[in-house]
Amino acid sequence: MPDLIFENSRLVEIYDSFDGQRNDLIHYLSLAKELNANSILDIGSGTGCFACMLAEEGFKVIGLEPAEASLSYAKKKPYANKVNWILGDATMLSPMNIDLAIMTGNVAQVFLTDTSWEEVLVGTHKSLRTSGYFVFEVRDPSKKAWLDWKKEKTYGCLNIPDIGKVESWCEVLNVANELVSFRWTYVFHKDNQVITSDSTLRFRSKTSIENSLCKMGFTVEEIRDAPDRPGKELVFITKKND
């Protein structure tokens, strides 16, 4: 089930405002052009920022998202009418002869078990054409990003048009091996409503990710740094085996 931050309509409406400038998406747009992709599958498309950006650039785009509230919000954006939106996850994918599948942000880390991750890899592999590309990013676990997920470092307060003043902050709930659980709190001043959303991410090692990709039919072509978070993330560029 999607986290509340993606499924609660009130939280979805403020998601883009708190997410800020998505400079990471510019990097992925450039990467899509570098790989000469024409058709792109955006797995975990969320509120549609990247899918709509790709559509504006003339790519053939499929936006796959399991949270209905996020998908509904995405469909209202400019160029959304040029995107083929699908409500669901990668396990339901069929052969589509796609050139490039991409997971941006934290999408690759929301699959907490080995089984769920491998199911995503199977679905993604199935959707790609022969020698198609699969690109995604993960946070480097050695950097322990969660140490900064505390109120004093994540607090924000925005005055959002038609919504009003909203406060937000993050706090870690639990760290257990590779799993990090955390909570975002949002305070809507308009009616003093407080909404929280709990999430868990898995911080897999670089080696375990490489092994899982090899097992499920992908070759790792390259692992790059993320331009928007230098030294903190790993960007996997992989290719479907023939």
Distance CA 123, CA 118 (A): 9
pTM: 0.95
**Model pLDDT, residue 160:** 97
Residue type, 136: F
Q: Which residues, in sequence order, are CB contacts of 58 under 8 Å at separation 6+?
A: none
Domain assignments of the chain as residue spans, ordered by start: 4-141+205-240, 143-201
Residue 102 binned pLDDT confidence (cut-offs 50, 70, 90): very high
Q: What is the mean pLDDT of residues 140-158?
A: 97
Sequential DSSP letters for the chain: ---HHHH-HHHHHHHHHHH---HHHHHHHHHHHHTT-SEEEEET-TTSHHHHHHHHTT-EEEEEES-HHHHHHHTTSTTGGGEEEEES-GGG-----EEEEEE-TTGGGS--SHHHHHHHHHHHHHHEEEEEEEEEEEE-GGG-GGGG-SHHHH-EEEEETTTEEEEEEEEEEEEETTEEEEEEEEEETTTTEEEEEEEEEE---HHHHHHHHHHTTEEEEEEE--TTSTTTEEEEEEEE--
Point out the least confidently predicted range of 14-23, 181-190, 205-214.
14-23
Residue 20 binned pLDDT confidence (cut-offs 50, 70, 90): confident
* Cβ burial 19-35 (10 Å sphere, 16+ → b, else e): eeebebbebbbebbeeb
Percent of the chain at pLDDT above 70?
A: 100
Q: What is the mean pLDDT of residues 205-226?
A: 97
Residue 1 binned pLDDT confidence (cut-offs 50, 70, 90): confident
Residue pair 77/52 in contact by the 8 Å Cβ criterion: yes
Q: Around Cβ 36, how many Cβ atoms within 10 Å?
A: 9
**Model pLDDT, residue 227:** 85
How far, in Å, are 27, 100, 102, 165 from residue 39 at the CA level?
17, 6, 11, 40
- Homologous superfamily of domain range 4-141+205-240: Vaccinia Virus protein VP39 (3.40.50.150)
Backbone Cα Rg of the chain: 18
